């Protein structure tokens, strides 16, 4: 009898891994810059993931399993992204990775995710165009931010548009979007200038803008050197209405810069701390309870927070499976949606990008924010219409309006 019991125990021990599997935690890798150049905008992304994880774990986890976070500080360094991406996929064996702020870091790790068969969320606003079955994008893309912003500004201020943009792929591709939308709306580009990233002195740019007399100035400047533009333009008494897809929503310049250097700027963002509705306020309150020292909750923080819930929704509908192919079958059904602080959002099965509520944030003279307009449910239409269909094929590529995916 005793022997039988022992054998039974041994047998149970052998079978343990199988039966206990359901209770094993789901491992979620987090690769974000907690130090270095981008830390200002990305520490909130880690906190958003921690807040969502905390809430989900307290409510019983995903399909009964707790979430375990594996967090690495990528130090705003692209080689760290590659290093840690290999590590979380091969050594830590995470089920899913949430990673990256700059497009350069995303493009640095994307081939590794593809190669190792991982599954990654990019929870960031970016220049658009990534058609890759291994990626889900929860940030906003140009067609969502510019197709709303530019027609609205042209109607209100006039049809002559000037763009100043950072001279690398984000600025170039975003400027192309601006150009196309201005043209489609019957407006005119009166100038376009690309500025190297390290430039901090803008006398000539300011003069060029003054000479061209635009009604609207689209600023796609990036990084701390280029953000000196706003103070210098204000000092030269340049008060042209500005539109942007990057300011305020990411690096909260309206909080950091002295008023009124950012006055009369209009930004389309899918969420920021000032959004004034009950659900959003509840989110802000929860956040500040967990992270009382956070200076600002930006859009990427919300994108990261809702991404955890999006993942939960997918895994639960796949009956607890975290396998990428199972999850993609769920995405292909076209109705993976969550109620986020910004509102109801859904994943587009063709591009694996997300629909958004787009808020038009206006920076007032005292740098307070008001919202003249809100667009609900703006779809990431471009990739799908252009020919990216991840339910059918997987090109693993990034496309631009002038280099669209092949049709058919």
Note the residues at the interface with another protein (CB under 8 A).
Answer: 35, 37, 39-40, 167, 193-196, 198-201, 203-205, 207-208, 210-211, 224-225, 227-228, 231-232, 234-238, 255-259, 261
For another protein, which is the closer residue by CB, 255 or 281?
Answer: 255
Who contacts 92 (Cβ-Cβ below 8 Å, separation ≥6)?
27, 29, 70
Contact yes or no for 252/295 (Cβ under 8 A): yes
Of 152, 150, 100, 107, residue with least CA distance to 125: 100
C-alpha distance from residue 336 to each of 56, 304, 311, 347, 381 (Å): 18, 16, 9, 6, 16
What span, in angstroms and rounded, lies between the C-alpha atoms of 68 and 85? 17
For another protein, which is the closer residue by CB, 32 or 342?
Answer: 32
In 3-state terms the chain splits into helix, strand, coil percentages (rounded to 5) of 45, 20, 35
Task: Tell the burial category of 189 from Cβ atoms under 10 Å away from its Cβ (0-12, 13-18, 19+).
Answer: middle
C-alpha distance from residue 223 to each of 53, 143, 297 (Å): 30, 22, 19
Question: At closest approach, how far in Å is the CB of 240 from another protein?
Answer: 12
Question: Three-state DSSP class for 330?
Answer: helix
Cβ neighbours around 15 below 10 Å, total = 10
DSSP H helical ranges for 142-227: 142-157, 169-184, 203-212, 223-226
Question: At closest approach, how far in Å is the CB of 75 from another protein?
Answer: 11
Diameter over CA atoms, the chain: 97
For another protein, which is the closer residue by CB, 68 or 294?
Answer: 294
Query: What are the counts of helices (DSSP H) followed by strands (DSSP E) for the chain?
Result: 14, 16
Question: At closest approach, how far in Å is the CB of 126 from another protein?
Answer: 21
Question: At closest approach, how far in Å is the CB of 188 from another protein?
Answer: 19
What span, in angstroms and rounded, lies between the C-alpha atoms of 233 and 202? 8
Who contacts 252 (Cβ-Cβ below 8 Å, separation ≥6)?
272, 295, 296, 298
For another protein, which is the closer residue by CB, 330 or 369?
Answer: 369
Question: At closest approach, how far in Å is the CB of 189 from another protein?
Answer: 15
For another protein, which is the closer residue by CB, 10 or 235?
Answer: 235
Question: At closest approach, how far in Å is the CB of 253 from another protein?
Answer: 9
Show the tokens assigned to 30.
């987090």
For another protein, which is the closer residue by CB, 189 or 225?
Answer: 225
Question: At closest approach, how far in Å is the CB of 299 from another protein?
Answer: 18
For another protein, which is the closer residue by CB, 215 or 342?
Answer: 215
For another protein, which is the closer residue by CB, 113 or 195?
Answer: 195
Question: At closest approach, how far in Å is the CB of 172 from another protein?
Answer: 12
Q: Which value, to the nearest 10 degrees, does the dihedral of the CA atoms of residues 87, 128, 343, 370 take? A: 120
Question: At closest approach, how far in Å is the CB of 406 from another protein?
Answer: 32
What span, in angstroms and rounded, lies between the C-alpha atoms of 281 and 31? 28
Question: At closest approach, how far in Å is the CB of 268 from another protein?
Answer: 23
For another protein, which is the closer residue by CB, 17 or 292?
Answer: 292
For another protein, which is the closer residue by CB, 75 or 78?
Answer: 75
What span, in angstroms and rounded, lies between the C-alpha atoms of 68 and 45? 16
């Amino acid at each position: 009898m005793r022997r039988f019991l022992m054998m039974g125990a041994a047998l149970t021990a052998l079978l343990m891994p199988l039966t206990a599997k359901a209770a094993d935690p789901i491992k979620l890798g987090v690769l974000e810059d907690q130090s270095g150049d981008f830390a200002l905008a990305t520490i909130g992304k880690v906190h958003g993931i921690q807040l969502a994880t905390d809430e989900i774990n307290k409510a019983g986890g995903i399909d009964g399993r707790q979430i375990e976070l594996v967090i690495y500080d990528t130090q705003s360094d692209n080689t760290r992204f590659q290093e840690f991406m290999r590590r979380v996929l091969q050594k830590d064996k995470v089920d899913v990775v949430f990673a990256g702020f700059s497009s350069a870091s995303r493009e640095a790790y994307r081939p590794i995710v593809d190669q190792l068969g991982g599954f990654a969320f990019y929870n960031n606003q970016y220049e658009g165009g990534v058609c890759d079955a291994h990626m889900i994008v929860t940030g906003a893309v140009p067609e969502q931010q510019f197709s709303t912003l530019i027609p609205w500004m042209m109607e209100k201020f006039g049809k002559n548009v000037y763009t100043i943009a950072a001279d690398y792929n984000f600025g170039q591709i975003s400027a192309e979007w601006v150009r196309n939308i201005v043209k489609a709306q019957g407006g005119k580009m009166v100038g376009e200038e690309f500025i190297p990233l390290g430039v901090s002195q803008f006398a000539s740019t300011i003069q060029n803008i003054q000479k061209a007399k635009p009604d609207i100035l689209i600023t796609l400047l990036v990084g701390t050197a280029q953000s000196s533009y706003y103070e210098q333009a204000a000092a030269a008494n340049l008060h042209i209405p500005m539109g942007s897809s990057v300011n305020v929503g990411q690096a909260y310049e309206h909080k950091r810069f002295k008023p009124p250097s950012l006055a009369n700027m209009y930004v389309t963002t899918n969420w920021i701390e000032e959004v004034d509705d009950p659900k959003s306020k509840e989110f802000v309150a929860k956040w500040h309870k967990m992270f009382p020292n956070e200076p600002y909750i930006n859009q990427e923080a919300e994108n990261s927070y809702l991404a955890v819930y999006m993942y939960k929704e997918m895994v639960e509908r796949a009956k607890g499976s975290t396998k990428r192919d199972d999850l993609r079958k769920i995405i292909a059904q076209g109705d993976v949606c969550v109620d986020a602080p910004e509102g109801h959002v859904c994943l587009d099965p063709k591009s694996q990008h997300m629909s958004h509520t787009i808020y038009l944030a206006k920076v007032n003279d005292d740098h307070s924010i008001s919202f003249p307009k809100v667009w609900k449910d703006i779809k990431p239409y471009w990739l799908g219409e252009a020919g990216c269909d991840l339910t059918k094929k997987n090109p693993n590529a990034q496309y631009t309006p002038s280099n669209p995916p092949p049709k058919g």
